[in-house]
Structures are given as C-alpha cells and as structure tokens.
Chain A
Amino acid sequence: DAGVTQSPTHLIKTRGQHVTLRCSPISGHKSVSWYQQVLGQGPQFIFQYYEKEERGRGNFPDRFSARQFPNYSSELNVNALLLGDSALYLCASSVWAGNTEAFFGQGTRLTVV
C-alpha cells in the first residue's frame, strides 16, 4: 500500500515568490494535516483538514493557506515567501480528524533564497 506521498521532494524559490506543495493521503484516510519543520526543531502544526473543511489552524501568518480536494488530497500554499520559510514541510494523514494515529509523508524541502 502506498503511504502518504508529497510532491515535489525539493524546491528552491526566491523571496517574494509563491509556492504550492501537494499531498496525497493514504487510501481511505480523509484527514490531512500540514507541519513545518525548521532544521533542528520539532514539527510545528500549520493546518488540519477533514472532509474538505479546515478543522484547525496553528500560529502561522495569513500568507499560509491550504485546501483539501474531493479525493482528500491537499495543497499548502505560501505567498510572499520569506527566508524564514525555508523548512521541511510535512503532510500527515489519518482516517478521520479525531483519529490520533497520524502517518507522515517524506516531506518537501523548501529553500528560499
């Protein structure tokens, strides 16, 4: 069975640009969460989606947005990129929003120059 897949794996962007990251959850999983992991730190929660609705949002600026599609895949969008947005962006899926067993993808490494 395929696990959580994220694309692209690596990305280099310039300050001020926009980026879209994609996530496909495990088949049968309807909830997706996004995390930012800065080098040397633990992942920080950004968004949780379930059945295409935002269920939770972490302490991130409005430059960060996300959405979930009818097939339960998800996109994370970041506008007006800053150098400090450089991080590993992780997607996690679970069967439903209240299910605590979360499975992570390999992440997208974003570098802002």
Chain B
Amino acid sequence: QQQVKQSPQSLIVQKGGISIINCAYENTAFDYFPWYQQFPGKGPALLIAIRPDVSEKKEGRFTISFNKSAKQFSLHIMDSQPGDSATYFCAATYNNAGNMLTFGGGTRLMVKP
C-alpha cells in the first residue's frame, strides 16, 4: 500500500524557472514531512521539512506548501538551476516513529541551461 503518492515522475524546467513537485498522503497520523534530494550514486540528503502546524516553510530557494485538510504538500524550487537536477523524494513519518520514513516514488528533475 503506497501511503505517499508523488507526482510528476519526471520534470523538465528551464534555468530560472519554478519547479513544483506534489505529494499526497493517506495516514492522518503523519506529522512530519521532509523532502530529500538524491544525486546518482549518493544517498538521499535532507533538504527541507515541515510539520502540519504551519502552512508554508521557506529555506532559500526551496519552499514547502502544506494543506492539512487536503492531505497534500508540495515542494517549490524557485529560480531553478542546472545543479538542482536530481531526484527528489517526499516522505512522511510521525513523532514516535522518528526515522521510520514512508517515501513517495520520486521525481526526476532536469533543469536545462
């Protein structure tokens, strides 16, 4: 059972554009939603995370928007750069579960120069 659904599977954006990746979850017990960035041959690296008590969190060019009633959250990458080309994963967990994460299927982002 896939509890976190991610879309799109792949995304091509021009340099300077906005990349938007969406995720939806089913388990209402989830209360921590991180995004991970993964380059080929590397492990996932934590990018940014949000808890459901806020609707938006921004760190540099990366913003998470969270809609608790719709059980959806999204990652926005502003001013996308070729160096952002990677696979992005949304994930979810709940406090007592800690590093037991449920991941989405991933989005392969390519930023064209």
Contacts and interface: CB of A to CB of B under 8 A. Distances in A.
Interface string A27-62: 000010101000011111100101000011000000
Nearest to B107: A42
A101 interface: yes
Nearest to A44: B103
A33 B41 CA distance: 19
Interface residues of A, number: 30
A31 B99 CA distance: 8
A33 B99 contact: yes
Given A42-B6, A100-B93, A102-B46, A48 B98 contact: yes
B40 to A, nearest CB: 11
Contacts, number: 78
A96 B104 CA distance: 24
Contact of A56 (B45, B46, B97): B97
B102 interface: yes
B98 A41 contact: no
B69 interface: no
A104 B91 CA distance: 14
B42 A106 contact: yes
Interface of B: 4, 6, 32, 34, 36, 41-46, 49, 89, 91, 93, 95-106
